[in-house]
Amino acid sequence: MHTSQVSRCAPDSAEQLIEAFLEKGYHAVIVTDHFAGERDDLKALTWEEKMHYQARGYEAALKAAEGTGLRVFFGWEMSKERAEDYLTYGLGMDFLLAHPDLKKMPLEEYCRVCHEAGAFITRAHPYRHAHYIPPNPTINGDVIDAVEVVNSKWLDPDNENHLAFEWARKHPEKIRTSGTDIHQASVAGDAGIALTHPVNSLEEIIEALRNREHFLIIDGRICDQEGRVVEENA
């Protein structure tokens, strides 16, 4: 989820998004605001100040979820060459503060440094159409753990989810994920992953993904990793 506290493209706040996810019955969310480290409007801030700014959406979501049982975890979405985005999970503030050159690293170096620290990296919406994304997208399968085969709604023409599925079928060693990529509360419930057991940490979610114990939520329905519906109402 992207929050208006950090991501300039998000119209809704962490509080509004948490309320929406609670209404839809989610057990956990990961706040993956766009990486703020090199934003022009934050140039006057120190690196430490920028990273604390990065965490504002997560901290607001965490506070909004207090007492509800909804787990809130921290991550970020890093844009690299060709405006291609990489969801990065499993690392925290200590890692960010120790790597002020993170945004400037080429993709391969970024993934290596993050992986050495224990990260899980997903290539987000690899076939998305947008004015800021060059044509003919690339997927560097050698440096990622997973590919997002579903982003938001299945038939979203801007995401070409079917092409991501085609790529994943040709690269079965890569884990498949589904992500809401939520910016506004009205689309909560469309996507995500479903597990057969409860989890209490982001590490447990990552372990379940690595073991391929997860199902894909596609348009609010629980599906297997080929996109076949196994339960109508997620």
Among candidate residues 169, 64, 38, the one with its CA nearest the CA of residue 161: 169
Q: Which residues contact 159 (CB under 8 A, 6 or more apart)?
A: 125, 127, 128, 129, 151, 152
- C-alpha–C-alpha distance, residues 77 and 75, integer Å: 7
Q: What is the pLDDT of residues 3-35, one digit of tens each?
A: 999 888 888 899 999 999 999 999 999 999 999
Q: What is the pLDDT of residues 113-172, one digit of tens each?
A: 999 999 999 999 999 988 888 888 889 999 999 999 999 887 788 889 999 999 999 999
Q: Model-level pTM? A: 0.94
Domains and CATH numbers, the chain: 14-231 (3.20.20.140)
